Amino acid sequence: MADRAPESLQDKIEERLRYYEDLGIRLFYRDRATASAAVSFAPPVSTSAPTAVLQENSLPKPLAKPLPPKPSAVAAAPRIVPVVTPSAPSLFESVDKIKDDTLPKIREDIGDCTRCKLHKGRNKIVFGDGSPKADLVFIGEGPGADEDQQGIPFVGRAGKLLTQMIEAMGLQRRDVYICNVVKCRPPENRAPEPDEVATCSPYLLRQIDVIQPKVIVCLGAVAAKTLLATTRGISQFRGEWLEWRGRKLMATYHPAYLLRNPNAKGEVWKDLQKVMAELGLQPPKKSKSL
């Protein structure tokens, strides 16, 4: 029997797997012919996910021009917003816009929902929080333990960091709208499963249609993949302006990912600065970064 890996190596493996999970990568394959080969785990120095484990069929493609390359540290060319179409059938294609819809009506239609298996372990439905007329909407993947207890999105550790991010932009939580793809907490904070997303996402679409924001910020891979109908890792289009149903969309890392990887805060702050420029916002004088 092979010796058990040292505890320090196990910790590195767990940290690395969490890193890949935040990028949307959960399946790995090992060639038996190389089963005895040594495996090394280098620190995540690149924001690009390994292409060997990514599906190749799903990054939204522009109708006219491809996404422009990221600007260099020297030259900062103006960003062009491409029009994109999902490469897979969208969950929202069959959802018609409801006349005279409102957020209270959407919440009433959800009711004491038992439409998917997530209801079995939830404490409270977490609908959304913020201004119903917000220019900016933040979308996460699903409630955590604190959110499940309070019925309010992003109130735990990750939520406090999101609040700091919003304030760094010169806004307050009451100025934006915050919600999730699914409204009930997945067990052990796992990622929502496809059937759960398919069941709950039409209500998310109705929320967006009612609020009519100028900008949508997807926090993490689940939110971005749901709206863009893609299976590509978020690092491959994070920080790029995309157009979704006539609205500008920016995907960036989830605050929970930043708690585990503080070095990525600088990248997220760059993304938020692009959002601020689009909305004509000026940060507080004392706020320079996250």
pLDDT band for position 290 (cuts 50, 70, 90) = confident
> What long-range pairs does 186-194 form, CB within 8 A, spacing at least 24?
186/118, 186/142, 187/121, 189/142, 189/144, 189/145, 191/21, 191/26, 191/141, 191/142, 191/222, 192/118, 192/141, 192/142, 192/222
Each residue of 232-247: pLDDT tens digit? 999 999 999 999 999 9
| pLDDT surpasses 80 at 83 | no
Task: Give me the CATH topology for the region 55-72+79-279.
Answer: Uracil-DNA Glycosylase, subunit E (3.40.470)
Each residue of 126-145: pLDDT tens digit? 999 999 999 999 999 999 99
What integer pLDDT is reported at residue 54 of this predicted model?
35
C-beta of residue 220 within 8 angstroms of C-beta of residue 234: yes
What integer pLDDT is reported at residue 13 of this predicted model?
75
- Stretch 251-280: mean pLDDT: 97
Tell me how far apart the alpha carbons of residues 165 and 178 are, in angstroms, rounded to a whole number: 13
**pTM for this model (two decimals):** 0.70
| pLDDT surpasses 50 at 50 | no
Top-confidence residue, 27 or 255: 255
Domain residue extents for the chain: 7-52, 55-72+79-279
Each residue of 185-196: pLDDT tens digit? 999 999 999 999
Mean pLDDT (the chain, rounded): 80
